[in-house]
Structure 1
Amino acid sequence: MVGDNVYYLALSWAAVQAGTPSQAGLVMAVSAVPRALLMLGGGVVADRFGPRRVVIGSDAVRCAAVLAVAAVLFAAGPGLWPLVVLAVVFGIVDAVFMPAVGALPARVTSRDQLARVQGMRGLAIRFANVVGAPLGGLGVALGGAAGAFGLAGLLIAVSVPLLVSVRMRDLTTDAGAEGDAGVPGASGAASSSGASDAIGASGATGVLGAPDPDQGSTVVQEAVPPGSPWRDLRDGLRYIRRHRVLAPLLVAIALGELGFVGPLNVGLTLLADQRGWGASGMGAVLAGFGAGAGIAGLLLTVRGRLPHAARVAAAAILCGSVAIGALAFVPSLPAAVGVALLVGLLAGLSGALCGALLQTQTEPAYLGRVSSVAGTVSLGLVPLSMPVSAAAIGWCGTGPVFVTSAAVCGLGGVVVLCSGALRRAQLPG
């Protein structure tokens, strides 16, 4: 994550140096298209070949691509085409990398520790955001864009042997997972196309073996994956659609993202400009948000589990939506920082709990595809809300847009509370 932060700073700096502002914007946006279009296919890849193998391979490709462009810029100087190629490659690889990362936690720890893993991941994200930008700036100051890309490549290179050192635990299916009504094979028996179609998250097709007397559950054994990727994708989407917990949970996540991204990205910039807070004031508000999210991550890391997880998540979403709406009406910068800290705390808590529920409620065979659907919502559909938010603020002002966004975000909490199976969902303890 630190390497990614340095990479994006180096990419934006190199693009500005090599072209016009509009060309720089195009370079920064070009990786989003293949990532959004290929993310669902990336989930199929993660389920068919195993998240560990896919994460290691895609991370190695990212490292090689960044170091190659660093070498090109060092030898030939600034140029837009190497940056465009790098951005496209990064977007394609991210489409595979991200679903595999989403499927990995269930293979490295037990289900009762997944909430703690989500909290630790939140802490890692906040740490990377704080450390990455200064490191990227130092790389640019000392070695220009080539130096910053080289630094990003070296940081990513360090992560590869760390990933290789990670050991997978045996993949098991836990009978009694909630939300399996109406889904043939949701409890591990078979997929809708028969037992041979349950794609194992270890990398190959999951063929159910005999119960393991030591673990009291059924071990998913590996075999050669049959069928086409297209059929695997259809099976994954059908699994989500029929799942009593995952379907409403993904809807709630999508609504929360749609209501959250616009105000916190575009809206906050315009609000700071209108109030005369300036760039430093906007930075202080963002720091408040980051601190709140970090506190939420630390809470889950220490606690490991909260009772009534879905209801707590719904309450956090609803309270967080009120705080988002209030952000447009606070009279002073210190008050805005305090509200932003509350938003970050509640959003971080609800996000981590929803992520943990997504992990624990999904059969291991489908984790890559479920993660890819969640990633498609966040990285493919949600960015569309940013230009809409900007246009709406120009038309009717910040207050109505923040309130509308808060209402959309709050609908996510309503969805959780209105779905009986999701509302009763618990994290294993």
Structure 2
Amino acid sequence: MTSTGLRTAPAPEEPAHRDGNVLRWLSAYTASMVGDSIYFVALSWAATRGGSPAQAGLVLAVGSVPRAALMLGGGVIADRFGPRRVVIGSDAVRCAVILAVAVLLLMTAPGIWLLVLVALVFGAVDALFLPSVGALPPRITTPGQLGRVQGMRGFAQRVATVAAAPLGGLAVALGGPAAGFGAAGVLFALSLVLLMAVRVRELPPDEESGTGESPWRQLVDGLRYIRGHRVLAPLLLVAAVMELGFAGPANIGVVLLADQRGWGAAGMAWIVGGFGVGAGASALLLAVRGRIGRAGAVQSWGVVAGSVALAAIGFAPSVGAAAAAGLCVGLCTGLGGALIGAMLQTVTEPAYLGRVTSVATLFTMGIAPMMFPVVGAAIGAWGIEPVFATSAAVSAAGGVLGLCSRALRRAELPR
């Protein structure tokens, strides 16, 4: 109260795109994503040059095993020790490992065993890094800005995806795998420096969850929290079912489609490019607006509409039609995915964010990629159209499940 007895108006919150703290986090996240992609290019090239095709495939696949197996434990660690501490520690390990590999490749030509070991270590560290970096936004900005932050994050993902492939290819072309690993290590170092400059809001003691419990009890407590949450449980179910149907056709399915229709690599690039442009545009929309009304219903309808467009790709008669369908997929599922991320962070209590993020990430980066060989084998057995239609129906079922939840349909983002 002022001396005149009038209540002073609260200070307006700073928009996320003008908040230096948020921008440092976003820059660190972008540098890390570009470094991830360059690392994968260098690893792929080194594996292809250093072993047989089967050995190269083993190197590229083996990193997903510890990532999926340890992801839930990574969420527990993030909540137990704080996401900032864990994300800085894991980023430092990634930086040191990748730079050490770059030096080794300059000095000698190690066998395929080194690449397998690197992939295993990198996958294990990712299981710590991903839940922690995803749990940071609610501690660095206000609830009303989380939608805008998710839009900014989604747009940064698209920019990183576009920039990483040519940068990785250029580094490997100029200096071989050693240069590729070195470039990735430098980007991880930049990410580390920026993360160390990010200020986070620490939780008061009464908001901490189970820090005195055993890790196993904390994990069980987190899963119980998700199961009993009226909005969070159906929201994660929507994300999981959508990814199970979407991941295979959007990745290996598009490659096989372009090959069977005679569209070649250029046709595949047009389809993937359409998806990227659409997803980037929807993320930019959320970043600019900051909030979309009836977010719970909109994200579910976005999943349904994007699934219909996904089925249309499989029946497209030309590259142009497939690229247009890919653009619709990106617009709808990109908006739906960004809203899922924003709602996840606004409805979850901060003390549980690491565990909740780890569950969401487990489906998107752990379980969903396992559908790649299933979809590839199914296309070989039954053809493109039925597999795309079936996968799209599975993905759409996620959106329908969301619409069937009254609590999720009525969920809103904070103002």
Task: Answer yes or no: same fold by TM over 0.5.
Answer: yes
Deviation per residue, 1:313-336 (Å, 9 max, x gap): 111111111111111111111111
More helix by share: 2
**Counterparts of residues 3-402 of structure 1 (less than 5 Å):** 3-171=35-203, 207-208=205-206, 220=207, 225-402=211-388
Secondary structure, in 3 states, of the residue corresponding to 2:176? helix
Q: CA deviation at 1:379?
A: 2.0
Equivalents in 1 of 2:184, 2:254: separation in Å? 29
Deviation per residue, 1:135-174 (Å, 9 max, x gap): 1111111111111111110111111110011111354xxx
Secondary structure, in 3 states, of the residue corresponding to 2:413? coil
CA RMSD of aligned residues (A): 1.3
Deviation per residue, 1:19-51 (Å, 9 max, x gap): 011101101111110110000000000000001
Contact 1:73/1:79 (<8 A) preserved: no
Deviation per residue, 1:108-152 (Å, 9 max, x gap): 111111111111111111111111111111111111111111111
Unaligned runs of 5+ in 2: 1-32
The aligned counterpart of 2:398 is 412
Q: CA deviation at 1:106?
A: 0.6
Q: How many aligned residue pairs are there?
A: 383
Contact 2:209/2:351 (<8 A) preserved: no
Secondary structure, in 3 states, of the residue corresponding to 1:3? helix
Secondary structure, in 3 states, of the residue corresponding to 1:77? coil
The aligned counterpart of 2:14 is none
Equivalents in 2 of 1:115, 1:30: separation in Å? 35
Equivalents in 2 of 1:80, 1:325: separation in Å? 39
Equivalents in 2 of 1:129, 1:319: separation in Å? 24
Equivalents in 1 of 2:137, 2:101: separation in Å? 32
Equivalents in 2 of 1:289, 1:154: separation in Å? 29
Equivalents in 2 of 1:87, 1:293: separation in Å? 29
Equivalents in 1 of 2:177, 2:382: separation in Å? 40
Secondary structure, in 3 states, of the residue corresponding to 2:292? coil
Tell me the TM-score normalized by structure 2. Answer: 0.90
Equivalents in 2 of 1:360, 1:223: separation in Å? 17
Q: 1:224 to 1:428 in 2, by over 3 A?
A: closer
Unaligned runs of 5+ in 1: 172-205, 209-219
Equivalents in 2 of 1:44, 1:170: separation in Å? 17
Supply the AA of the counterpart residue of 1:256.
Answer: M
Q: CA deviation at 1:396?
A: 1.4
Q: CA deviation at 1:78?
A: 4.5
Instruction: Using the TM superposition, name which of 70-79 and 157-166 deviates more.
Output: 70-79
Equivalents in 2 of 1:341, 1:153: separation in Å? 33
Q: CA deviation at 1:225?
A: 2.7
Secondary structure, in 3 states, of the residue corresponding to 2:205? strand
Secondary structure, in 3 states, of the residue corresponding to 1:425? coil
Q: CA deviation at 1:224?
A: 9.4
Equivalents in 2 of 1:355, 1:380: separation in Å? 17
Equivalents in 2 of 1:230, 1:344: separation in Å? 38
Q: 1:146 to 1:393 in 2, by over 3 A?
A: same
Secondary structure, in 3 states, of the residue corresponding to 1:168? coil
Equivalents in 2 of 1:243, 1:378: separation in Å? 21
Equivalents in 2 of 1:15, 1:349: separation in Å? 36
Equivalents in 2 of 1:378, 1:329: separation in Å? 26
Contact 1:311/1:417 (<8 A) preserved: yes
Equivalents in 2 of 1:261, 1:340: separation in Å? 14
Deviation per residue, 1:334-368 (Å, 9 max, x gap): 11111101101111100000111110110111000
Runs ≥4 in structure 1, deviation > 6 angstroms?
A: none
Contact 1:293/1:345 (<8 A) preserved: yes
Q: CA deviation at 1:81?
A: 2.0
The aligned counterpart of 1:403 is 389
Contact 2:66/2:123 (<8 A) preserved: yes
Contact 2:158/2:280 (<8 A) preserved: yes
Contact 1:17/1:78 (<8 A) preserved: no
Equivalents in 2 of 1:417, 1:223: separation in Å? 31
Instruction: Using the TM superposition, name which of 285-294 and 387-396 deviates more.
Output: 387-396
Residues 1:428 and 2:414 aligned together: yes
Equivalents in 2 of 1:79, 1:170: separation in Å? 45
Equivalents in 2 of 1:223, 1:95: separation in Å? 21
Contact 1:14/1:78 (<8 A) preserved: no
The aligned counterpart of 2:6 is none
Q: CA deviation at 1:16?
A: 0.6
Deviation per residue, 1:203-249 (Å, 9 max, x gap): xxx632xxxxxxxxxxx4x7993121000000000101111111111
Equivalents in 2 of 1:360, 1:225: separation in Å? 22
